[in-house]
Amino acid sequence: MPAALPAAAYELPASTGTHRVRFEAQEAKFNEYTRVIELSGDVKLEEVSAQDKTVKLIRAKNLTVNMDSRTVVSPADFVIDDDTGIAYGRSGAMNYGAETGHINDGRFAYKNFIFRGRSVDFDHDSYTYKKASLTSCDEAPPHYDLRASRIYLAPGRYFLAYNTVLFIGKVPVFYFPVLYKPFGGGTPFVSIFRPGYDQRNGFFIKSSYVYRVNTETRAKVFLDYFGKRGVGMGGEVDFRRPEKNITNASFYRIREYGMHKDRWGAGGGYWHLLNRFNESDPSQYYSQGYFRLLSDPRVNNDFFRSNPFAVSPDEQASVAFTRKTNSTVTRVSAAGRETRTADLSAFRKANSSIPRLDFNTVPFKVLRLPVLNSFSGYFENARDEGQSSAQRRGNGAWTVSRSVPLARSVTLSPSVFYDQSVFISTEQGRPDTWTGRYGAMANLRYDRVWGSLDLGYSYKQRLRDNKWQDARASADKGQEINSVSSQLFVMPRSNSYYKLSTAYDLRNYYEASFSRRLAPVAAELYYAPRPNMDLYAAETYSLHTGTRSFVAQINVGDKETYVGGGIANYSSAPHAWVVSNTLGFRPWRGSAWRAETVLRCQLISAGGFDFSDIKLFEKGITLYRDFHDFRTRWNFKERSGGVREFFFYVTLRMNEPERKDDLDEKSRAFWHPWRQAGEVRD
């Protein structure tokens, strides 16, 4: 024909008879010898599956189709559209038989991500980008991008990038050796980097690698660099299957420059059910344990600033095995604790209980009598703080009780008990000691919708050691407890309550004034007049010695904009008032920045509210700013012990979790409640 006619839709004969392509174009040229078709002008080429479904759609100005090799070549710009996303390229080729291809200067939009590569190879379920970049910013040019030597993308599963540098605009900011993100399926793996500076450790980079093994298990690896101290490494494992096992274990070590010994810390615990349900034996057998071990008392304060044990660096460990039935609980355990020395250089033994046997019953009846019986007891090989040798001791108590309704809102709950303690001597010349005690308790409760009023009486009398006689010849006449008590609890509304309690000592072996016999009066108040405001105050006051403790706190605002203030005073340091203030705010209306401040100090009183000295022991500010593509957090902190540090987080929004992680939230609440939501370590 003298001129080519406009080409209509034309199906190429498929070599397999099933998998094929079809096209539309303004012009087509076919060479029957080479079996090559040259298409031009608004080319639309579809790859069709055996089920007659379009699996790929290619749009271009020019395409060349080789029917023998089953390849499609585009010498200029083209677009590939399939169920994984949309890919753009300057040029490229595709083998629709082998479902592979190559793109030059490729760009692929998937979910909210944009992948680019100078060279892109792909097959039916993955892409490999070389000299690549990645961003979730839809601006041109993007606010940020991650430039990598290579990116592997498996749509619907994950992407993995190597040798990645974060660029803010054209400025390189940070280097990531590996970056991984899952897409719904696959195995979640997250990399977190936290650069900062503190006065003791110098410039630091703390990195965390979180690997979600499965829905029940999470593993974390920590790798840190401290400019003045060296390299620290550690890890943490979480396992949570509530009906069978709950476990958390963490470890961290560092050898500081110039030191010959490692500094380390380890902590965690577990609960494990040892048997399955058995109809013939409904008993449950389980084990549980807890440990917190440190190389020295200062290590937490030096490297784990958000850990509350930094100011209480005791070592402790415990393990227990328990048998629980419908009527009894039997427990065998071992526990020990070590406290820091005065100079914070080492630990000293405080107390231990190795082993200890506990046995308790639930209330039960005997001979159909209208009373309930219960027994609790223990025996242990223990050593108390300050003692050089262990002691063998035990105790058992039998209680008989019954609740008697006296009126519609009045209930009397009396009980009597016998208590037997035993001391087995481990020292030469010291005899074994058996000491009995008996007594009674009664509580009269008046219960109403607005609250309750309790009036109680308690009496405990000691017997002579190793004899069935009252110890009336002793200095205290054997009177250990003889008192009346009362407690008033009023809750007029769901947003407020008041509580008031005290007791009066009736023991007559000594002379004392009314103020001495009256126990400290404990008062507690809570009031929340509005959803974003609550007040709390509690005081324990003795008529004889004055205030034993006073605590007050007020909080106003929501999670982002708030004011909090608290004050506390204790009889152990009567001239010291601890004041805590927190504030969350935006510097101005509509500001993209948000700030949180904390200021804790100790006011030394010369008398009353005449304060002569102020000692700051913690101050800090945290700044938050959300940008188009990432969130930032800037922390400045200073507190006692020479802690002065600054660090910041940059969280790319593409790395935010797509849904709430129940394993992380429940584990954090159970094992590390001081961690903020989203924190993966201390």
pLDDT in tens, 216-230: 899 999 999 999 999
Is residue 187 over pLDDT 60? no
Is residue 281 over pLDDT 80? no
pLDDT band at 244 (very low <50, low <70, confident <90, very high): very high
Is residue 16 over pLDDT 50? no
Is residue 458 over pLDDT 90? yes
Q: What's phi and psi for 63, nearest 5 deg?
A: -140, 150
Query: Looking at residue 3, what is its pLDDT?
Result: 41
pLDDT band at 655 (very low <50, low <70, confident <90, very high): low
Query: Looking at residue 609, what is its pLDDT?
Result: 59
First to last CA, the chain: 79
Q: How far is the C-alpha of 441 from the C-alpha of 343, rounded, in Å?
A: 47
Q: What's phi and psi for 257, nearest 5 deg?
A: -55, 130
Among 50, 46, 55, 51, CA closest to 11: 46
Q: What's phi and psi for 666, nearest 5 deg?
A: -70, -35
Which residues have C-beta within 8 Å of that of residue 588, sequence separation ≥ 6? none
Q: How far is the C-alpha of 581 from the C-alpha of 571, rounded, in Å?
A: 22
**Residue 59: inside a domain:** yes
pLDDT band at 1 (very low <50, low <70, confident <90, very high): very low
Q: Which comes out higher in pLDDT, residue 347 or 498?
A: 498
Q: CB 544: neighbour CB atoms within 10 A? A: 12
Number of H helices, E strands in the chain: 3, 42
The pLDDT tens digits for 629-647 are 777 888 888 876 667 778 7
pLDDT band at 188 (very low <50, low <70, confident <90, very high): low
Query: Looking at residue 14, what is its pLDDT?
Result: 47
**Residue 310: inside a domain:** no
* Structural contact between residues 298 and 323, judged by C-beta atoms closer than 8 angstroms: no
- What residue spans of 79-172 are helical by DSSP H? none
* Structural contact between residues 54 and 48, judged by C-beta atoms closer than 8 angstroms: yes
Among 240, 176, 186, 239, CA closest to 209: 176
Q: How far is the C-alpha of 682 from the C-alpha of 673, rounded, in Å?
A: 11
The pLDDT tens digits for 539-550 are 999 999 889 999
Q: What's phi and psi for 416, nearest 5 deg?
A: -130, 155
* DSSP β-bridge partners for residue 24: 44
User: Which of 98-112, 326-340, 356-370, 648-662 has the lowest average pLDDT?
Assistant: 648-662
Q: How far is the C-alpha of 78 from the C-alpha of 64, rounded, in Å?
A: 12
pLDDT band at 15 (very low <50, low <70, confident <90, very high): very low
**Residue 453: inside a domain:** yes
The pLDDT tens digits for 130-178 are 998 888 777 778 888 888 999 988 887 788 888 888 887 888 877 777 7
Residue 355 preceded by cis peptide, ω within 30: yes
**Residue 473: inside a domain:** yes
The distance of Cα 488 from the centroid of its chain, to the nearest Å, equals 37
The distance of Cα 633 from the centroid of its chain, to the nearest Å, equals 19
Query: Looking at residue 297, what is its pLDDT?
Result: 87
**Residue 128: inside a domain:** yes
Query: Looking at residue 184, what is its pLDDT?
Result: 62
The distance of Cα 352 from the centroid of its chain, to the nearest Å, equals 29
Is residue 660 over pLDDT 80? no
**Residue 479: inside a domain:** yes
* Structural contact between residues 398 and 421, judged by C-beta atoms closer than 8 angstroms: no
The owner of tokens 């498929």 is 14
User: Which of 23-32, 352-361, 559-568 has the lowest average pLDDT?
Assistant: 23-32
The pLDDT tens digits for 325-380 are 989 999 999 999 998 887 777 888 888 999 999 999 999 999 889 999 999 999 99
Q: How far is the C-alpha of 62 from the C-alpha of 57, rounded, in Å?
A: 14
Q: How far is the C-alpha of 455 from the C-alpha of 475, rounded, in Å?
A: 29
Among 405, 413, 501, CA closest to 453: 501
Q: How far is the C-alpha of 664 from the C-alpha of 240, rounded, in Å?
A: 10
Q: CB 607: neighbour CB atoms within 10 A? A: 8
Query: Looking at residue 87, what is its pLDDT?
Result: 84
- Hey, is 302 helix, strand or coil? helix
Query: Looking at residue 305, what is its pLDDT?
Result: 67
Query: Looking at residue 449, what is its pLDDT?
Result: 92
The owner of tokens 């009567």 is 574
Is residue 433 over pLDDT 70? yes
**Residue 75: inside a domain:** yes
* Single-letter residue type at 44: K
The most confident of 98-102, 165-169, 344-348, 533-537, by mean pLDDT: 533-537
Is residue 459 over pLDDT 60? yes
* Structural contact between residues 120 and 133, judged by C-beta atoms closer than 8 angstroms: no
Query: Looking at residue 612, what is its pLDDT?
Result: 66
pLDDT band at 215 (very low <50, low <70, confident <90, very high): confident
Q: Domain count of the chain?
A: 2
The DSSP output letter for 13 is P
The distance of Cα 404 from the centroid of its chain, to the nearest Å, equals 46
DSSP letter string over 497-564?
EEEEEEEEE---SS---HHHHBPPEEEEEEEEEETTEEEEEEEEEETTTEEEEEEEEEEEE-SSSEEE
Q: How far is the C-alpha of 549 from the C-alpha of 297, rounded, in Å?
A: 29
What is the average per-residue pLDDT within 554-582? 91
CB burial class (10 A; 0-12, 13-18, 19+) of residue 80?
buried
Q: CB 389: neighbour CB atoms within 10 A? A: 7
Q: Provide the residue range defining the domain that includes 480.
A: 403-519
Query: Where is the domain boundary, 123, 153, 187?
Result: 187
How far are the Cα atoms of 235, 276, 378 from residue 188, in angstroms, in the given order?
Answer: 17, 32, 47
The DSSP output letter for 7 is P
Query: Looking at residue 4, what is its pLDDT?
Result: 44
Q: What's phi and psi for 548, nearest 5 deg?
A: -90, -35
* DSSP β-bridge partners for residue 237: 219, 249
Query: Where is the domain boundary, 187, 212, 247?
Result: 187
User: What is the residue-averaged pLDDT of the chain?
Assistant: 86
User: Which of 67-71, 87-91, 478-482, 530-534 has the lowest average pLDDT?
Assistant: 67-71
Query: Where is the domain boundary, 519, 553, 570?
Result: 519
The pLDDT tens digits for 189-204 are 677 777 888 888 888 8
Is residue 394 over pLDDT 80? yes
Among 538, 565, 561, 558, CA closest to 549: 538
Q: How far is the C-alpha of 205 from the C-alpha of 199, rounded, in Å?
A: 14
CATH number at residue 180: 2.60.450.10
**Residue 360: inside a domain:** no
Q: What's phi and psi for 308, nearest 5 deg?
A: -65, -20
H or E stretch including 172? strand 171-182
Is residue 514 over pLDDT 90? yes
H or E stretch including 299? helix 299-303
* Structural contact between residues 294 and 301, judged by C-beta atoms closer than 8 angstroms: no
Q: How far is the C-alpha of 429 from the C-alpha of 424, rounded, in Å?
A: 12
* Single-letter residue type at 160: L
Take residue 328 and report the two structure tokens written for it: 């009894």
Q: How far is the C-alpha of 394 from the C-alpha of 594, rounded, in Å?
A: 57
Q: How far is the C-alpha of 180 from the C-alpha of 174, rounded, in Å?
A: 16
Residue 141 preceded by cis peptide, ω within 30: yes
Q: How far is the C-alpha of 268 from the C-alpha of 316, rounded, in Å?
A: 11
Q: Which comes out higher in pLDDT, residue 5 or 230?
A: 230
